[in-house]
Chain A
Amino acid sequence: MIRERHPKSLIHFSFETPWPWPSELELLPIAWRSKLLDSLLAADVVSFPTDADINAFIACVRSFFSSQSDDHLPEIKYRSSTLIVGTHSIRLSVLAPLVRSPKFKEVVRFPQTQRFIYDLAVAEPIHTFVTVERSEPHKNIVRAINAYGELLKRRPDLTESTRFLLMLTPGPTHISAYKRVSEEIRRAARKVNDLAKNSNPVRVYEENNFYRAIAALSIYDTLVSVPVADGVGRSPLGGPIVNTKNGGMILSENDATKGLFGDSVSTVGITDIAGISFAMEAAADESLESRFTKSEAILDILRSIDPTSAARQFLSELNEVDHTH
């Protein structure tokens, strides 16, 4: 629509969510898909959270046009980060991650946050797994709890020396999928706690409480973020900034930040409950030296990210396209 009314405009479309693969996009009616893709293909730049999303987008464009019966279909090429559809070029990019170090550092010093840090502290040395997420179906929280349950079944000795804290921002529970996921999370937590007898190692806080969430990030030994799909990765980007325990991270291969941290984090498949469980076991048994080395590597990566880089990239991409116009 904008392109029709403003043919010479520069259009930058920035996605904060993952892009689906053709097998997922085709669940939408053909006319809807057509409108969505036409609209995006009218842009000059489209940015996505990860390279995988770019690949999925290109696959959707190819799949959509190849399914058309028109004899005059556009030629589609992709090279040097540019998708060429007929005579129109679209630059595809991965937008730099947004690190909110100053804000997190400020909030962790607030008295409210310090009070929650005190409340969450325990006298005995205990390994604390932490998940800080919105309570959404794609966050895969039930599998993370089930994985912890498998860990305690395999290693009962860890029942007293580990715990799993989940700080979950409630979703809109008038939508049935959110209500259901909230119930499933509580059921999974109850099941693990029932097995653990009196120790209740899983604690779910479903609330809008940014201070308690930041407090939990400051004390994790292992941050667990295993989303089915994710575009932003706020906890893995913000957690290490305020963490005081040289904590490590278990990330799913679909977490938006996984590629950023490389071997400094444990990577797991999204449905692999056993795999997540073994990664938790390895984290609980990891030596302090190894943890320190990895957490320093994670912090080095985060410190190297200029907080203004995403904004600079946005402007520079528009400027580059402006010059080619």
Chain B
Amino acid sequence: MKLLSGRKLIVASSRGPLNFTEDQSGKAVARRDTSRSSEMLEHLSNLPISWVSGAVGVADRNAAESRSDDHGLIQNDVLPSDWAVKFVSPPRRVHHKFYNVICNPLWFLLHRSWSPTFTPYIGTQEHDAWERGYRAVNQSFDDRISNIADGSQIA
């Protein structure tokens, strides 16, 4: 497959190609994720790809601290050698607002599961979560991407 002319290829997704579980001793164990985006891009394992993905579970959040090198890259032995992963790991309260208060209800919207007479309930808590959760996490993704771009052209 053709490489994009001189651009750094960066993939941002809520779930990336890597997640962690913890063994009985509490040690982080890396696994390949089975999200559609990571399965689709398995076929591009020969291309250098920088992934920016969310630290979804507790083990991911712990790994974001314990497995990051000086550049914030997550150390692992399960991904192609040309792939690098950085986690976006916001504080728990921000993650709660992002994921539970905004993303879960948005999922219902996208899957036509709302009944307009009763749902959604969008009060001040939800507006706060939009600003301080959803937009804040998106800003963190943006910052990570800009950090990887480091002045280069990107795709």
Where the two chains meet, the residues of A that have a C-beta atom closer than 8 Å to any C-beta of B are 1-2, 5-6, 8-12, 14, 16-20, 24-25, 27-29, 32, 35, 98, 100, 136-138, 175, 177, 227-232, 307-308, 310-312, 314-316, 318-319, 322
Identify the closest chain A residue to B145 (Cβ): A2
A228's nearest neighbour on chain B, judged by CB, is B112
Residue in A14, A136, A315 whose CB lies within 8 Å of B111: A136
Return chain A residues, CB-CB under 8 Å to B116: 27
Pick from A1, A175, A322: contact of B7, CB below 8 A: A322
| Cα distance A98–B155 in the bound complex, in angstroms | 22
Once A and B bind, how many residue pairs between them come within 8 Å at the CB atom? 102
Interface, chain B (partner A; CB < 8 A): 1-2, 4-5, 7, 36-37, 39-44, 100, 104, 107-114, 116, 120, 122, 127, 130, 135, 138-139, 142, 145-146, 149, 153-155
Does B155 contact A27, Cβ atoms closer than 8 Å? no
Contact A10 B7 (CB under 8 A): yes
- Is the beta-carbon distance between A28 and B109 smaller than 8 angstroms? yes
Chain B at the A interface: SS class: helix
* Contact between chains at A319 and B4 (CB < 8 Å): yes
Bound complex: CA of A208 vs CA of B12, how far in Å?
27
**Could you tell me the distance between the alpha carbons of A10 and B8 in the complex, rounded to whole angstroms?**
10
Q: How far is the CA of A177 from the CA of B139 in the complex (A)?
A: 29
Beyond A19-B110, A100-B39, A175-B104: 12 further Cβ-contacts under 8 Å?
A2-B142, A10-B154, A16-B37, A18-B110, A28-B122, A229-B112, A307-B43, A311-B43, A312-B1, A316-B2, A318-B155, A322-B7
Of A230, A232, A318, which contacts B36 at CB under 8 A? A232
In the complex formed, the residue of B with least CB distance to A8 is B153
Cross-chain contact B111 with A17 (CB below 8 angstroms) = yes
- With both chains docked as a complex, state the minimum distance between the C-beta of A27 and any C-beta of chain B, in angstroms: 6
A14 to B142, CA, bound (A): 17
Complex partner residue of A137 from B1, B108, B120, CB under 8 angstroms: B108
Whether the pair B127, A29 counts as a contact (CB closer than 8 A) is yes
List residues of chain B with CB within 8 A of the CB of A100. Answer: 39
Q: Give A262 Cβ to nearest chain B Cβ, in Å.
A: 23
Write 14 A-B pairs (CB below 8 A) sorted by A numbering: A1-B138, A8-B153, A9-B154, A17-B111, A24-B112, A24-B114, A27-B116, A136-B111, A227-B111, A228-B111, A311-B42, A315-B2, A318-B155, A322-B5
CB-CB < 8 A to A315: which residues of B? 1-2, 4, 44
Residues A229 and B43 in contact, CB atoms below 8 Å apart? no
In contact, B146 and A314 (Cβ under 8 angstroms): no
Q: A100's closest neighbor in chain B, by CB? A: B39
Neighbour of B40 across the interface among A32, A137, A175, A311, CB < 8 A? A311
Residues from chain B with a CB closer than 8 A to the CB of A19 are 110
**Nearest CB of B to A318, in Å:** 5
| Residue picked from A16, A18, A311, most chain B C-beta under 10 Å | A311
* CB atoms of B108 and A177 under 8 A apart: yes
